[in-house]
């Protein structure tokens, strides 16, 4: 299965509070490995057993825990509408009861009520609770409504007890999810074979003297994520970067510092690239002259005169070979779409990835981003908050569509 966007199928993984919550980590990892886009949603009790950070590190998007106070106003409707399947593992007696009764009291129960996607629950609880008529009647109600129930098994339970109520094995849960989703299209794994992709990353440093520079907060994470995803899809990737972050396997790296060095490196290789992605934060200005020796306080406050740096993206747009897809990023703080659309037109870009760098969880340094994709045909595609790795996949999926 692919989701409606043509990308990986999307599964919301609900995790309730119980000792079996640690097994949901393995479920999450296995689903991601199988090509599923996983969004973890943890209940408050789940966070007593496992941390959201564990899931954020393994899943396709950061783990969510809050119906209110999170970065999104109405996360449950977005999750419910976008999901191809909702899995709750482990599902506690409380969750099963609330879902059967239609009570929405937290992000997970609200998402369950806000989705029309298939739902699978994998119960886990002590034998006495599992066999309680209230739990069995609630499950019968859910089954009647089409909810799939996975397990539970007999075996060791918390506190050394043995009996029915143990969470089904992670491999059995994952198999049930994959069966319900149907075949997953993993053709993206080699979709860029034979294509050269040039990616820039990081913030340029424009020297003032031998020890000082004008710079910005770019960590290179966004660009490195694009490079990693392009390499995973079989491309020959040339990463022109100022960042010291690790370089993905199989990627050819060119280390640069200044906008001029980045321009020289990119413009030398771009003519043979099928795709160029300018994720770097390139300085717009640099000191007109660079002091040969360290500026001394005793000499007074220096006056630094600035001049423009080369606009690499504009130069790429002006000399774009037939068939090349040119992608720019727009780092905005206000009027995001309007400003990004103006840059797209001015620099002859095919796809502009606009991010509001003042939004929580987006922009510089963080591991997540929230972007709007604008193309030269005027289409505007707003993406939710997700990891930079997931956004890289969205961008490359979009480019593949553009090239078809």
Least distance in angstroms from the C-beta of 325 to ligand PMT = 14
* Distances in whole angstroms, Cα of residue 360 to Cα of each of 74, 214, 224: 15, 25, 21
> Alpha-carbon distance 259 to 204, whole Å?
6
Among positions 178, 279, 372, 389, the unique one binding ligand PMT when judged by CB under 6 A: 279
> Alpha-carbon distance 240 to 263, whole Å?
10
DSSP characters over 67-130: SSSSSSSSHHHHHHHH-SEEEEEEE-HHHHHHHHHT---SHHHHHHHT--S-EEEEE---HHHH
Told to check if 185 binds ligand PMT by CB under 6 A, we report no
SS3 assignment, position 216: coil
Pick the piece of the chain touching ligand PMT (CB under 6 A) from 13-21, 109-117, 156-164, 308-316.
308-316
Peptide bond into 92 cis (omega under 30): no
> Alpha-carbon distance 195 to 273, whole Å?
7
Closer residue to ligand PMT, CB minimum distance, 80 or 328 = 328
Pick the piece of the chain touching ligand PMT (CB under 6 A) from 19-27, 43-51, 180-188, 305-313.
305-313
Told to check if 317 binds ligand PMT by CB under 6 A, we report no
Least distance in angstroms from the C-beta of 340 to ligand PMT = 8
For residue 310, give the H/E element and its range: none
Told to check if 196 binds ligand PMT by CB under 6 A, we report no
Closer residue to ligand PMT, CB minimum distance, 191 or 218 = 218
Among positions 30, 37, 205, 221, the unique one binding ligand PMT when judged by CB under 6 A: 221
Among positions 328, 372, 389, 390, the unique one binding ligand PMT when judged by CB under 6 A: 328
Among positions 27, 112, 280, 395, the unique one binding ligand PMT when judged by CB under 6 A: 280
Pick the piece of the chain touching ligand PMT (CB under 6 A) from 55-63, 67-75, 111-119, 324-332.
324-332
Q: Is 394 left (phi over 0), alpha (psi -120 to 50) or beta?
A: alpha
Told to check if 236 binds ligand PMT by CB under 6 A, we report no
Told to check if 313 binds ligand PMT by CB under 6 A, we report yes
Closer residue to ligand PMT, CB minimum distance, 62 or 328 = 328
> Alpha-carbon distance 95 to 72, whole Å?
23
138 is catalytic: no
Among positions 207, 284, 290, 320, the unique one binding ligand PMT when judged by CB under 6 A: 284
Least distance in angstroms from the C-beta of 33 to ligand PMT = 25
Residues contacting ligand PMT: total by CB under 6 A = 27
> Alpha-carbon distance 28 to 38, whole Å?
7
- DSSP 8-state class, residue 64: B
At residue 386, φ and ψ (nearest 5 deg) are -155, 175
Closer residue to ligand PMT, CB minimum distance, 7 or 201 = 201
> Alpha-carbon distance 394 to 195, whole Å?
18
Least distance in angstroms from the C-beta of 273 to ligand PMT = 15
Q: Of 254, 249, 214, whose CA–CA distance to 235 is shortest?
A: 249
Told to check if 275 binds ligand PMT by CB under 6 A, we report no
Told to check if 363 binds ligand PMT by CB under 6 A, we report yes
Point out the residues that are catalytic: 216
List residues binding ligand PMT (CB under 6 A): 202, 218-222, 259, 278-282, 284, 309, 311-313, 328-331, 343, 355, 357, 363-365
């Amino acid at each position: 299965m692919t989701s409606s966007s043509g990308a990986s199928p999307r599964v919301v993984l609900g995790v309730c509070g119980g000792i079996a919550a640690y097994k949901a980590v393995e479920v999450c990892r296995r689903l991601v490995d199988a090509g599923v886009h996983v969004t973890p949603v943890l209940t408050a009790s789940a966070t007593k057993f496992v941390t959201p950070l564990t899931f954020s590190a393994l899943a396709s998007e950061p783990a969510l825990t809050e119906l209110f106070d999170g970065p999104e106003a109405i996360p449950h409707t977005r999750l419910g509408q976008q999901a191809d399947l909702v899995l709750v593992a482990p599902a506690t007696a409380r969750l099963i009861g609330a879902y059967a009764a239609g009570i929405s009291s937290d992000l997970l129960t609200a998402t369950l009520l806000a989705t029309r996607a298939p739902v699978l629950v994998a119960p886990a609880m002590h034998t006495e609770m599992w066999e309680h008529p209230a739990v069995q009647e609630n499950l019968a109600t859910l089954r009647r409504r089409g909810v799939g129930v996975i397990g539970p098994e007999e075996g060791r339970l918390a506190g050394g007890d043995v009996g029915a109520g143990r969470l089904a094995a992670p491999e059995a849960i994952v198999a049930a999810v994959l069966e319900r989703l149907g075949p997953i299209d993993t053709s993206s794994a080699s979709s860029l074979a034979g294509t050269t992709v040039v990616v820039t990353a990081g913030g340029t440093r424009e020297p003032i003297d031998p020890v000082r520079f004008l710079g910005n907060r770019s960590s290179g994470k966004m660009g490195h994520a694009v490079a990693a995803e392009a390499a995973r899809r079989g491309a020959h990737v040339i990463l022109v970067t100022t960042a010291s972050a690790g370089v993905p396997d199989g990627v050819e790296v060119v280390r640069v510092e200044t906008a001029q060095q980045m321009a020289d490196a990119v413009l030398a290789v771009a003519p043979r690239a099928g795709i160029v992605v300018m994720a770097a934060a390139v300085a717009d200005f640099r000191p007109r002259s660079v002091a040969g020796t360290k500026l001394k306080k005793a000499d007074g406050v220096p006056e630094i005169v600035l001049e423009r740096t080369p606009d690499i993206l504009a130069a790429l747009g002006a000399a774009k070979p037939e068939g090349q897809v040119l992608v720019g990023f727009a780092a905005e703080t206000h009027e995001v779409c309007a400003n990004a659309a103006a840059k797209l037109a001015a620099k002859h870009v095919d796809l502009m990835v606009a991010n509001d760098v003042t939004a929580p969880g987006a922009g510089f340094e963080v591991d997540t981003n929230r972007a709007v994709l604008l193309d030269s045909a005027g289409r505007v595609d707003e993406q939710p908050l997700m990891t930079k790795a997931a956004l890289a996949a969205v961008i490359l999926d979009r480019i593949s569509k553009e090239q078809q």
